[in-house]
Amino acid sequence: MSVEITKLSNGLTVATEVMPALESAALGVWVKAGARDETEGEHGIAHLLEHMAFKGTSRRTARQIAEEIEDVGGELNAATSVETTSYYARVLKEDVPLAFDILSDIMLDSKFDEEELEREQQVILQEIGAAEDTPDDIVFDHFQETAFQDQIIGRPILGTRDTVRSFTPDRLRSYLARHYSPERIVVSAAGAVDHDAVVRQIEAAFGRMPRSELDMAAQRPTALYTGGEFRETRDLMDAQMVLGFEGRPYYARDFYSSQILSLILGGGMSSRLFQEIREKRGLCYAIYSFHWSYSDSGIFGVHAATGEEELAELAPVIAEELARASEGIHDAEVARARAQMRSSLMMSQESPSSRAGQIARQLMFNGAIISNTELLDRLSAVTAGRLTELAAATFLDRAPTLAAIGPISRLPSVGEIAGGLTAAGAGPKLAAAHH
């Protein structure tokens, strides 16, 4: 399999990958703009815009959009993240032109009808309420807000009740005009597709779309990790806790090392945190680690769910395990984590939806496709010594972020947790290596 890439004269990128033997295709339009690109008064508008795209155009009503894609057995959806928005479909190969026609229609000719807007605003208000009632979801919103205090990147993607209610069709059009420009768009398709046919159709639909005169990337405020603490006592059966530190951005030298370190610490049943904290000590029923990357920052975190009585011991043991990583990582652990990443990569490439998304993200954030060979070479270059240094640089003498919801009176403060990390570890220091 190989990726074909064409850049239109207005800067829009079209990329396809044929996956032999498939009778279906996944395709979509990815925009390098998300919740992070909102102004102070636009909190939640990127997500609302994504919803409104399906609510009618000059050619199709909201019902017709749904019926046309489902008449051929296809699926249509969209998603908003911190830095991207995507609109995508999955169809049989003969229906690829129809799917692209619908996607281009909803992106270029949405009506933003006021009655539809009011209904969708109400839907999102319900989403906000549902998130607030789900502690294991909302704790991550509070974690992000605390890690990047008083910054747009730290705000929940859904927005607030007040901001969502305030949006008008004109404000949606203003955000769309500023951010949905061709040089920030990647059209990606994988599966049973024909590259030349896709290019012709996208050129016809998007070719007249003008380039933006604004450099939106330059206008985006640089993320500044702050760390801190959020605690909310609730009368719940269990407590939700997330402990984190500044991670690495997409472009960092240690991006892949951070992914491997996360797998070693909390990426499965064989991981250090799972074995020591859940299996050996029985201090929680769920625990895992994660590494989120952005264009200029990142987060390395640990999520745990446990009972009230276990919290007093749980947090110090997590800190102890993080500090232990700075004292040594074993070659066998690196090999196991590398195998997990390789397996995940290969399995995901058997899915056209996953592959279309991978292609779009690589082009948006790396400017090129990273081949499997190159990626595996990068993973092979990660050593136990480098991971030990990375653990020290990430966890020791760094400002943690702590977010917790539930019966948390026995949970130590973020300062106490940080003090335990400072005292517990004496691993090698690692100089900043971001490029």
Distance from C-alpha of 423 to C-alpha of 104, rounded to nearest angstrom = 57
Question: Which structure tokens are listed for 180?
Answer: 């949905």
Residue 150 Ramachandran class (φ > 0 left, ψ -120 to 50 alpha, else beta):
left
DSSP structure string for 66-82: HHHHHHTT-EEEEEE-S
Position 373: which residue type?
A: T
| β strands within 210-297, DSSP E | 228-233, 239-246, 286-293
Q: Is 309 a catalytic residue?
A: no
Catalytic member of 17, 38, 42, 50: 50
Kindly give the residue spans of alpha helices, DSSP state H, lying in 109-208.
114-132, 135-147, 161-166, 169-179, 195-206
349: left (phi over 0), alpha (psi -120 to 50) or beta: alpha
Residue 420: other Cβ atoms inside 10 A:
19
Q: Retrieve residue 381's tokens.
A: 């270059």
What are the residue numbers of the active site? 50
